[in-house]
Amino acid sequence: MVVVVDYGAGNLESVKKAISFLGFSVCFSNRATDIKKADKLILPGVGDFSWGMKNIIKRRMREELVRFIKRGRPFLGICLGLQLLFEESEESGRIRGLGILKGRVKKFRSRKLTVPHMGWNQISIQRRRDIFRKIPDNSFFYFAHSYYVVPEEAELTAAFTDYGIKFSSVIVKDNIYAVQFHPEKSQKAGLRLLENFLKAV
Amino acid sequence: MLAKRIIPCLDIDKGRVVKGVNFRNLKDAGSALKNALFYDKELADELVFLDITASWQRRKIVINLVKRVSRKLFIPFTVGGGIKNLEEIGDILRSGADKVSINTHAVRKPDFVTQAARRFGNQCIVVAIDAKKTSAHRWGVFIEGGRKKTSLDAVSWAKEVEKRGAGEILLTSMDFDGTKDGYDYGLTRRVSRAVKIPVIASGGAGKPEHFYEVLTYGGAQAALAASVFHYRRYSVKYIKNYLKRKGVEVRL
């Protein structure tokens, strides 16, 4: 069973619908026991880093999440779900992230840029991973965010996206897959990426 | 590069798409779900559903529509029309919409924008502004579907909703809406320059050149249109190919 972690984030429903559309059985859960039993885990989310982290802690899911990922089980983080894997964010004050990956979450700062970075942008594939099967380089995906991750290890970046600066839009490390865009809202390319995670990984 | 977005807008009455001129003389333009899937195939970047249903069952009809659409549509979509409380926003987002657009109630109670953005995140709160030229360089804000004039100036109101946490502005020119004579480039340019958040231009699209003008000179991040698409005058793909030839970044 694919489990979508429910910690109160807004776009859970779309993630679930996309997975059902692809023909996989999926459920929401906010219980540590379900996370433990999951075949695959998806951490979605939009919005505020500290709000997201507080909710994960409040529902006592933090430890089980970390354990699941460290056990080498297939994990997909989407948008905020990508950012929460890191240690800290500029928006979070003293609240720390899951700290599974080394690095920080920073805000887009430029006079010329429209923020949030909202709409369709391309990914430039740096390392061909199984998650990109049948996805051409420079495919468009849908983004909606004001913050981006800066991983300490450059090899984590499987694809980057150019928005005035080049930021990591796909992270792959062993069993960890995480994307800054919303595959569930990125039409064919997005569904393909989700299917790759569900099938091949 | 971030692509400029083309957004078909569907005015919805009891689950059906309707279209009028200057908010009047509504004509039926087909079922909402059918229209949505059609535009998805045509590579629309997003969709906006503006619900104009005026009955007590309104909310239930909207939620059902959102649920139906989101099972089959995998591009972002916004739902607006008469939204007055946080609970309703929560219901709409949970049913599968990505954003809500708030108009009249934002003007009546500006703190509503702040609360909604805080609770659901900036990226899902769109503030819709209906503007009409009132003097040479001034556009007034109208509410209640354009029926009621307010004392607000469109540019300052745009700045205020940005400060309050709106993630986008959907800017409609009431003077040009339904005319097919082109967007209000002056209005769009002023508002786009005054805020950092994306501006979606609306009202007046009739030809491919109009899209080009508003996305370049007008400074809009996205262009919304209704009748030009519903009556199949141009396809979304045609407009996007045209823009690409003119050097505008689009998703094709």
> How many Cβ pairs within 8 Å bridge chains A and B?
95
ipTM over 0.85: yes
Chain B interface disruption, residue of A120, A141, A148, most B CBs within 10 A: A120
Q: Do A122 and B1 touch (CB under 8 A)?
A: yes
E-assigned strand segments in B1-147 = 5-13, 16-21, 24-31, 47-51, 77-80, 99-102, 125-135, 138-143
pLDDT at B22: 56
pLDDT at B227: 85
pLDDT digits (tens, 9 = 90+) for A90-106: 877 788 999 999 999 99
pLDDT at B23: 56
Q: Do A21 and B45 touch (CB under 8 A)?
A: no
Residues from chain B contacting residue A162 (CB–CB below 8 Å): 1
Residues from chain B contacting residue A144 (CB–CB below 8 Å): 76, 98, 123, 167
Best CA proximity match to A63, nearest among A93, A94, A35, A104: A35
Given a cut of 70, whether residue A76 has pLDDT beyond it is yes
Of B70, B71, B74, which has the smallest distance from its Cβ to A187's Cβ? B74
Inform me whether the C-beta atom of residue B74 falls under 8 Å from chain A C-beta atoms: yes
DSSP classification of residue B122 = G
Chain A interface disruption, residue of B74, B95, B191, most A CBs within 10 A: B74
Q: Count up the domains in chain A and report the number.
A: 1
Residues of B labelled catalytic? 11, 130
Give the CATH number of the domain where residue A81 resides: 3.40.50.880
Q: What is the mean pLDDT of each run of 10 residues along chain B (252 residues)?
A: 96 83 70 93 96 82 92 96 93 92 97 94 94 95 94 98 97 94 98 97 97 98 93 94 98 95
Given a cut of 70, whether residue A10 has pLDDT beyond it is no
Tell me which CATH homologous superfamily contains domain B5-245: Aldolase class I (3.20.20.70)
Where are the domains positioned within chain B? Answer: 5-245
pLDDT at A24: 95
pLDDT at B142: 97
Q: Identify the closest residue of chain B to A147 by CA–CA distance.
A: B123
Of B71, B75, B98, which has the smallest distance from its Cβ to A11's Cβ? B98
Q: Identify the closest residue of chain A to B42 by CA–CA distance.
A: A187
Please give the average per-residue pLDDT across A153-181, as a whole number.
97
**Long-range CB contact pairs, A124-129, < 8 A, 24+:** A124/A159, A124/A160, A124/A161, A124/A162, A124/A166, A125/A158, A125/A159, A125/A170, A126/A157, A126/A158, A126/A159, A126/A160, A127/A155, A127/A157, A127/A158, A127/A159, A127/A172, A129/A158, A129/A172
B91 C-beta neighbours (distance < 10 Å), count: 17
Q: Which domain holds residue A157?
A: 2-199
pLDDT digits (tens, 9 = 90+) for A56-65: 999 999 999 9
Q: Do A119 and B168 touch (CB under 8 A)?
A: no
Euclidean distance between the first and the last CA atom of chain B, given in angstroms as a whole number: 13
Helix ranges restricted to H, chain A: 12-21, 32-37, 49-58, 62-70, 80-83, 187-199
pLDDT at A112: 84
Inform me whether the C-beta atom of residue B95 falls under 8 Å from chain A C-beta atoms: yes
